[in-house]
Chain A
Amino acid sequence: MIYRISVPAVADVEEIRVLEWHGEPGHRFDSGDLVVELETHKAIVEVRAGQPAVLRQVLSEAGKWQQIGLPLALLSDDAGEPLPEEVDSAADLMVDFEIT
């Protein structure tokens, strides 16, 4: 199954900047692994995988800006699953996020 990670809804934030991806495409994240760090106007948001998944395609590289709710990356259960052309058709990956 194909999943996407989107910018989580953080209070008072309209837009974030991607600070760092913690894996290249092809990397398998386990539940609880730090996937990506996002920068808001006053904090860092740590986004952790809530389920195991393989990072397939980064849609917003480090340094890029993205608005709340919009996709950051595509992931899948298996490394070889074909990616859809439409990002919107991907399900939301379960994530935990923490604001530090």
Chain B
Amino acid sequence: MSGKPAVTTEKIFFREAISRAMREEMRQNERIFIMGQDVGAFGGSYREFDGLFVEFGAARVRDMPVAEAAMVGVGVGAAAAGYRPLVSVTYMDFMMLGFDPLINYGAKLRYKTGGRLTAPVVVKTTAGAKGQGVAHSQCIEAWLMGVPGLKIVAPSTPADAYGLLKAALHEDGPVVFIDHKRLFPVAGQVPLSEGMVPIGQAHVCRTGTDVTITAHSFMTRVAMEAAKLLEADGISAEVVDLRTLAPLDMRTIADSVGRTGALLTLEEGQVTCGVGLEVIGRVHELLGPIPSARTGALPAPVSSNKVLEAACLPDAQRVLEAVQMLLGKRSRRSGRKIASFVPDGQ
């Protein structure tokens, strides 16, 4: 025996976390198959299905035409018939086309049939802005959070992507799995041993005492960056990675806000009827009035113009200023009074 500690994790790319989860689950359950554009020989738009076509063949890794409504519809139907499809919708914007089969059929099937039928389908999709413009950049997860029967996960790390995708493939109802264009260049440690991350558990990824920042997906990284900036300003921020948006882990969120006494929500999507508003509303129901504020995209489409894209999206500096405003402090760094970044009338 060597004196070295046992190696229990390996560093892999975000896309490899997804392909590993798929490979393990597809080996164990022959009812799992993949449908989507470029998922076959090409290996997925982000190479997140690399190697699966070679191992499992064209019947289980199925290339589809650009027809999201049909793909999600076939996925829900196949799930009702006893399969466990993963439908890959390359851009979350185009999930809108699959809302009817997903929401009207998939999410309601178990209820409507008194439990005789279920729709264990995973719709995997990629959200977020990375220079691709108004109809390829949106984060519309909040639209889905009010659908009974639908679970939604949005990991920020390779380890959580791996664990949550495996958990999603074991669910008995539809799960929307959301990744992000800017997460694909990320690499991270993933446990070598097989395992799942339970759906419905948030994760405190940084402890703090002055304010809680909730975020999910890529914005968790922005929140962590902002927390470092805040530390330099003498503000101790706790960061809660929601990981699952439906069902929300209110115990972890409320525990955190109860300790820090202030809540800033952060999301890349719109704040109107957004994830953050739901988090704030439920925290207030549990804890009573707590100083709270939302950060998210400005109420504008996300441009493919880099300057306009950056102007629309929240970044660490904007989070920093929102926290300072929330806590009634001025920025020591700039010395100027913090102005509201929310335009009038919002």
Contacts and interface: CB of A to CB of B under 8 A. Distances in A.
A13 B187 contact: no
B312 to A, nearest CB: 20
B185 A13 contact: yes
A42 B184 contact: yes
Interface string A1-41: 00000000000111101000000000000000000000011
A41 B185 CA distance: 5
B15 A65 contact: no
Contacts of A14: 185-186
B329 interface: no
A53 B11 CA distance: 32
B47 interface: yes
A41 B11 contact: no
A27 to B, nearest CB: 28
Contacts of B14: 41
Nearest to B184: A41
B187 A42 contact: no
A65 B11 contact: yes
A12 B185 contact: yes
A87 B259 CA distance: 48
A65 B184 contact: no
B56 interface: no
A42 B11 contact: no
Contacts of B11: 65
Interface string B10-43: 0101110000000000000000000000000000
Given A41-B13, A41-B15, A42-B15, A15 B187 contact: yes
Contacts of A12: 185
Nearest to B45: A42
Contacts of B94: none
A40 B185 CA distance: 8
Nearest to B16: A41
B309 to A, nearest CB: 14
Nearest to A42: B47
Contacts of B186: 14, 41
Nearest to B50: A42
Nearest to B15: A41
A19 to B, nearest CB: 12
Contacts of B185: 12-14, 40-41
Contacts of B105: none
B52 to A, nearest CB: 16
Nearest to A16: B187
Interface string B68-92: 0000000000000000000000000
Contacts of A42: 15, 46-47, 184
Contacts of A17: 13, 187
B39 to A, nearest CB: 15
Contacts of B184: 41-42
Nearest to A10: B185
**Interface core residue of A14, A15, A42 (most chain B CB under 10 Å):** A42
A6 B184 CA distance: 23
Interface of B: 11, 13-15, 46-47, 184-187
Given A41-B184, A41-B187, A65-B11, 4 more contacts: A12-B185, A41-B14, A41-B47, A42-B47
22 contacts: A12-B185, A13-B185, A14-B185, A14-B186, A15-B187, A17-B13, A17-B187, A40-B185, A41-B13, A41-B14, A41-B15, A41-B47, A41-B184, A41-B185, A41-B186, A41-B187, A42-B15, A42-B46, A42-B47, A42-B184, A65-B11, A65-B187
